[in-house]
Copies of this chain bind each other. A is one copy, B any other.
Amino acid sequence: MKQSQLFTRTKKESPADEVSLNAELLIRAGFINKEMAGVYSYLPLGLRVLKKIESIIREEMDNIGGTEMRTSVIQNKEVWEKSNRWDDEVVDNWFKTKLKNGTEVGLSFTNEEAYSNILKHYINSYKDLPIYPYDFKNIFRNEARSKSGILRGREFYWKALYSFSKDEKEHNEFYEKAKEAYKNIFKRAGIGHLTYLTFASGGSFSKFSHEFQTITSAGEDTIYVDENKGIAINKEVYNDEVLESLGVKKDDLVENKAVEVGNIFSLGTKFSAPFDLKYKDENGEEKLVIMGSYGIGLGRLMGTVVEVLSDDKGIIWPESIAPFKVHLLLLGGDENVKNEAGGLYNKLKEKNIEVLFDDRSDISAGEKFADSDLIGIPYRIVISKRSLADGGYEVKKRTESSGKIINIDELISLLETKN
C-alpha cells in the first residue's frame, strides 16, 4: 500500500484523557481512534493487525477440531434466565436495551448461554458429540471504569470456543489440546516468552481454571511465577495448600503484575444442567453434556503486544501480526531514486511481500524515520541517492539500531526467508 493513499497520519499527541501506553501509541501511530473510554474504532493499520491475530487464532482453533459460526449480539432475556445470569444483581456489567414493544434485550458479554441454547437443537445422541464450535464477535461489557486502552474495552472483538463432550475423560483430552493451542497462539503472536499458564480459581466444577498471563506493568493481576516450571499462580488462589498441591515452593516464586490474555475453563454441567443439554449414550441412558469455555480478547492481545514490545520511539510489531512486513521509505525527489523505489515496490508486491511504501513527497527524511519507528513495521528499507551510490538499499530491522546496504538479490532473499 502506498502511504500517500493511507488516510491516517501519525500524531504528536494522543487525546488528553488517554492514560494507557497501548492506546497512546496506537492512536498516535494511526491504528485506532478513540470514540470514548473503552470504545475504539480500528483504522486501516489497526484492522490489519487485528485480522492477522484473528487468522492465527482461527488456524489454531480449526487445528483442534473447531467449527466456526457466529452468534448474535442481541440476547434473549428468557435464555439467560435459565442460567440465572440475566439479573443485574448477579451480572453487573450487562448493557441492556429495549425493543419497540418494550421487551428487554441484552448485548452479549459472553456466549455460554447462546451456545447451550443453540446446541440444544442438535445434540441428541452420543454420536453427536464431541462438538467444538467457536465464534469471533464483538462483545459488550459495561465496565465501571475503562482506563487501560484496548486492554479492557466496553466493546471488544473476541474469540470464544465452547467444548461439548460426553464425559470428563473426553473433556480433559480436549482441554489439554486447547492448552497447547493457546500456547501456540501467544507464541506465534510474539509474547510467548512473557506469557505463563497460570492457575486461577475454577468455580464449583473444577479446582482450577487456567489463565494465560503476560507479564507487564500495565497488568491488573498479580501472579507468582515459577520460571523453572514455566507456570504461575494467580494471587486469588495463592495459599500454602495450593502451592503444595502444585508441587511449587514459595522460594521459587517471583511476584509480577500481569494481564490475562486468554483463559480456559472447565464448566462441568453448570450450563448443560439448566439448559437440559443431554444425550443418549450407547445404552440409551440420558446424560448431561460436559462443557468447557475457551476465550481470547483480540484487542487485549494486540494491546498487550504493544505494551510489552514497544520502545521509546514507538511500537515494535512481531512479523506475524505486523500490519506490513516491510516499510519502504523513499527519500528525496530525484527521479532516478523515485523510479528505483517504485520498481522495488512493485517487485515486492509481485512476490506477495506486504509493503507499506512511504512515497510521500512533502515529508522530510527525519519525519519519515520517526513515523516508521512509531508505526513499528519489522523491516525498514530506505532508498535514497546515497544508498544507491553505496550499492543498493539500506535495510534495518525495527529492533536494530543501524542498517546496512544490500543489493536487490540479497534483499529479496532476506525478505523471502520464513521466520
A196 sits at the interface (CB 8 A): no
Is A122 a contact partner of B8 (Cβ separation < 8 A)? yes
Total A residues in contact with B, Cβ cutoff 8 Å: 60
Contact with B along A1-31 (1 / 0, CB 8 A): 0001111110100000000000000000000
Is B67 a contact partner of A44 (Cβ separation < 8 A)? yes
The complex is assembled from copies of this chain, and their number is 2
Is A122 a contact partner of B44 (Cβ separation < 8 A)? no
A interface majority secondary structure: mixed
Given A39-B74, A74-B35, also A5-B97 (CB < 8 A): no
Is A142 a contact partner of B76 (Cβ separation < 8 A)? no
Inter-chain contacts of A46 with B (CB < 8 A): 69-70
Q: How far is the CA of A238 from the CA of B248 in the complex (A)?
A: 80
Stretch of A127-135, A258-266, A350-358 contacting B (4+ beta carbons < 8 Å): A127-135
Contact with B along A85-105 (1 / 0, CB 8 A): 000000000011111110101
A167 sits at the interface (CB 8 A): no
Most B CB contacts (10 A, CB to CB) among A33, A98, A144, A362 go to A33
List 30 interface pairs A-B (beta carbons < 8 Å), by A numbering: A4-B127, A5-B65, A7-B119, A7-B123, A7-B128, A9-B122, A33-B118, A35-B75, A35-B76, A36-B76, A40-B72, A41-B70, A41-B72, A41-B118, A42-B69, A43-B118, A46-B70, A47-B69, A47-B70, A72-B155, A73-B73, A73-B140, A74-B140, A95-B98, A96-B97, A97-B107, A99-B142, A100-B144, A101-B144, A107-B107
